[in-house]
Amino acid sequence: MKNLTIKQVHEGLVKKKFTCVKLTQEFLDRIESERDLNAVITVTADLALTQAKFVDRKIATGEEIGVLEGVPCLIKDNILLAGVMATAGSKILENYTAAYDATVIKKLKEAGVVFLGKTNMDEFAMGSTTESSFFGPTKNPRDKTKVPGGSSGGSAAAVAADLCVFALGSDTGGSIRQPASFCGVTGLKPTYGAVSRYGLMAMASSLDQIGPITKCAEDAEIVFEAIAGQDEKDSTTTDFCGADHTDIKKCRIGLPKECFGEGLDSEVSARVREAAEKLAKAGAEIKEISLPHTDYALSVYYILMPAEVSANLARYDGQRYGYSVRDRATNLFDIYAKSRGEGFGNEVRRRIMLGAYVLSHGYYDAYYKKAMQVRTLVKRDFEKAFLDVDFILTPTAPCVAWNIGEKILDPLSMYLSDIYTISANIAGIPGISVPCGEAYNLPVGLQILGKSFSENNILNLAKNFEKL
Name the β-bridge partners of 445: 435
- 383 pLDDT above the threshold of 80: yes
State the catalytic residue, choosing from 175, 324, 423, 452. 175
Q: Indicate the range of 186-190, 254-258, 330-334 predicted with least confidence.
A: 330-334
Give the CB-side neighbour count of residue 181, counting CA atoms within 13 A: 36
Q: Which residues have CB under 8 Å from 215's CB, separation 6+?
A: 3, 5, 159, 165, 166, 185, 186
Q: Indicate the range of 52-66, 165-179, 271-285, 402-416 predicted with least confidence.
A: 402-416
Local confidence band at 242 (pLDDT 50, 70, 90 cut-offs):
low
State the catalytic residue, choosing from 128, 151, 155, 181. 151
Share of residues in the chain with pLDDT > 90 (%): 92
DSSP secondary structure letters along 275-312: HHHHHHHTT-EEEEE--TTHHHHHHHHHHHHHHHHHHH
76 catalytic per annotation: yes
Confidence at residue 245, expressed as pLDDT on a 0 to 100 scale: 66
Local confidence band at 317 (pLDDT 50, 70, 90 cut-offs):
very high
Ordered alpha helix ranges (H), 324-405: 332-343, 346-359, 370-385
pLDDT digits (tens, 9 = 90+) for 392-449: 999 999 999 999 999 988 888 888 899 999 999 999 999 999 999 999 999 999 999 9
Q: What's the rounded Cα separation, in Å, for the pair 260 and 256?
A: 7
**Options 3.40.50.2000, 3.30.420.40, 3.90.1300.10, 3.40.190.100; CATH of 6-227:** 3.90.1300.10
Confidence at residue 342, expressed as pLDDT on a 0 to 100 scale: 95
Residues 162-175, mean pLDDT to the nearest whole number: 98
Q: Strand, coil or helix: what is 192?
A: coil
Confidence at residue 409, expressed as pLDDT on a 0 to 100 scale: 82
Q: Where are the domains of the chain?
A: 6-227
Contacts of residues 269-278 at CB distance under 8 Å and 24 or more positions apart, as own/partner, are: 269/395, 270/439, 271/436, 271/437, 271/438, 271/439, 271/444, 271/446, 272/393, 272/394, 272/395, 272/436, 272/444, 272/446, 274/436, 274/437, 275/393, 275/436, 275/437, 275/446, 275/465, 276/393, 278/465, 278/468
Confidence at residue 244, expressed as pLDDT on a 0 to 100 scale: 64
Please name the amino acid found at residue 404.
I
Please name the amino acid found at residue 180.
A
pLDDT digits (tens, 9 = 90+) for 46-61: 999 999 999 999 999 9
Confidence at residue 250, expressed as pLDDT on a 0 to 100 scale: 84
Higher pLDDT, 322 or 10: 10
Confidence at residue 243, expressed as pLDDT on a 0 to 100 scale: 58
Q: What's the rounded Cα separation, in Å, for the pair 450 and 434?
A: 14
- Asked if residues 166 and 214 have their Cβ atoms less than 8 Å apart, the reply is yes
Q: What's the rounded Cα separation, in Å, for the pair 459 and 48?
A: 29
pTM, full prediction:
0.97
Phi, psi of 309 (to 5 degrees): -60, -45
Share of residues in the chain with pLDDT > 70 (%): 99
269 catalytic per annotation: no
pLDDT digits (tens, 9 = 90+) for 109-162: 999 999 999 999 999 999 999 999 999 999 999 999 999 999 999 999 999 999
347: left (phi over 0), alpha (psi -120 to 50) or beta: alpha
pLDDT digits (tens, 9 = 90+) for 31-88: 999 999 999 999 999 999 999 999 999 999 999 999 999 999 999 999 999 999 999 9
How many other C-beta atoms can be found within 10 angstroms of the C-beta atom of residue 398?
A: 18
Mean pLDDT computed over every residue of the chain: 96
Confidence at residue 414, expressed as pLDDT on a 0 to 100 scale: 86
Confidence at residue 373, expressed as pLDDT on a 0 to 100 scale: 97
Surface-to-core class of residue 235, CB atoms within 10 Å of its CB (0-12 exposed, 13-18 middle, 19+ buried): exposed
State the catalytic residue, choosing from 76, 118, 189, 463. 76
151 catalytic per annotation: yes
